[in-house]
Amino acid sequence: MSDTVHEMPGALAQEFAPELGAPEPSLEKPIRDSRLGTWTASRIVWSLVGLAFLAWAIWAFIDDGTTFVALVGSSVASGAVITLSALGFVVILKATGIANFAQGDLITLGAFLGFWATDNTVGFGGVHAVNGLHVSLGVGYIVVLVLMFFIGVTVERVACAPLRGREVHVVVIATLGVALIIRTLLSLWQGGDYRSLKSWFNPGQPLQNFGPFDAGVLRFSIGFLGVHDAVISAHRVFVIFVTAIVIVAMMLLFSRTSFGRQVRAIAADRETARLYGVKASRLSMLSFGMGAVLAGLAGLMIGPLPGMALTVGFTYMLLAFAAVTLGGFTSIPGILAGGMMIGVTEHLFGEQMLPMLVGHWTQRFTTALPYLLMIIVIAVRPQGLFGRIGGRL
């Protein structure tokens, strides 16, 4: 092994290992309590909680399998959009150390740009896009994602680059200012009315009867299990498919490319990474551009759902923050797990499992359940259920 690797701090040697060879073994593993074998007391507790939840879910399925299957579809689709939102948030945080609270309004911007680019029918409540492009969905999506990349770079150059070296809270306030500016400009440009973005699978669109998607929905009928005509929106299936592709692409990006290794290196030891040639300024621009693209994609996925408003992105940003808190900021699989937990908590648990035990009045508070779960997890495990202190993407 070369002298260069021995001179580098352990974290950076590990990040740049593909170029420099395998790193030296790290610190010895902590000694576990042999009385529990490989199981710790906390792992046993969480396993019991998981088993109790599984038993509860089986009870809900037996009680009403049709509703259960439909809510599982909604939960997974919601978790997928939350995961997309969280990925953009975390990429910027890891690459720059900045919590970009404009991410939520970038999601809204992506949805509104999609509406502007593709609208040629009357939207929700009779709303038309102002000066719309009227292009096809495929072309419109590409236009929106390209615009979002340059908007993200612009946000970094205007609001963050001039504040480099200042206190973190100063930069956070600047990103909040950007969020308010985006929301105000959107309101002045397109108005604040509710609207809905077109989808290939919406009723009346060319793919509404594509394959098994009859009239824009996927139907499940499993007679011997008591599931009769459970309905999952075809667009929700599309969202799940798109998110799966993005997650695989992001994992390959961070594990196989120079950009990914530099992000992981600067996340592990920012100052030393700069000393070893990581161009922080360029990395910051690229991460903001990538974060904006992910936000725009999340907006395009959210847009066809009914009732898109100026605050829709901010709501999903808060859910994304809850997801990364649950899953930990240190890995993409953890973020995915956190997003799915949020989706299941809000839809399946909040709309069926909890009401069947304590009454349907609890359905009025489903939107608060993910944050209650986040608070509970923070109290017992601050690094998240799947996170590690000092971990990496």
The pLDDT tens digits for 335-364 are: 999 999 999 999 999 999 999 988 888 889
pLDDT for the residue numbered 182: 95
Residue 151's pLDDT band (boundaries 50, 70, 90)? very high
pLDDT for the residue numbered 218: 84
188-233 per-position pLDDT tens digit: 998 878 888 888 877 666 676 777 777 778 888 888 888 888 888 8
Rounded average pLDDT over 282-303: 92
Residue 125's pLDDT band (boundaries 50, 70, 90)? low
Neighbours of 221 (CB within 10 A): 11
Of the candidates 67, 61, 107, the one whose C-alpha atom is nearest the C-alpha of residue 88 is 107
Residues 82, 320 contacting (CB under 8 angstroms)? yes
Residues 60, 357 contacting (CB under 8 angstroms)? no
Tell me how far apart the alpha carbons of residues 220 and 230 are, in angstroms, rounded to a whole number.
Answer: 5
Residue identified by tokens 């100026």 is 310
Tell me how far apart the alpha carbons of residues 201 and 350 are, in angstroms, rounded to a whole number.
Answer: 27
Environment class of 3 (CB within 10 Å of its CB; exposed 0-12, middle 13-18, buried 19+) = exposed
By percentage, how much of the chain surpasses pLDDT 90? Answer: 41
Residue 175's pLDDT band (boundaries 50, 70, 90)? very high
pLDDT for the residue numbered 49: 86
Instruction: Tell me the one-letter amino acid at 283.
Output: L
pLDDT at 181 over 80: yes
Residue 299's pLDDT band (boundaries 50, 70, 90)? very high
Tell me how far apart the alpha carbons of residues 74 and 80 are, in angstroms, rounded to a whole number.
Answer: 10
For residue 255, what are the contacts with CB-CB under 8 A and spacing of at least 6? none
Residue, of 372 and 308, whose pLDDT is higher: 372
Cα angle for residues 149, 154, 160 (degrees, 5° grid) = 120
Residue 110's pLDDT band (boundaries 50, 70, 90)? very high
Residue 247's pLDDT band (boundaries 50, 70, 90)? very high
Enumerate the H helices of 97-202 as residue ranges.
103-118, 137-155, 168-190
Residue, of 185 and 268, whose pLDDT is higher: 185
Instruction: Tell me the one-letter amino acid at 149.
Output: F
Residues 243, 87 contacting (CB under 8 angstroms)? no
Rounded average pLDDT over 56-66: 92
pLDDT at 390 over 70: no
Phi first, then psi: what are they for 219, rounded to 5°? -110, 140
pLDDT for the residue numbered 256: 86
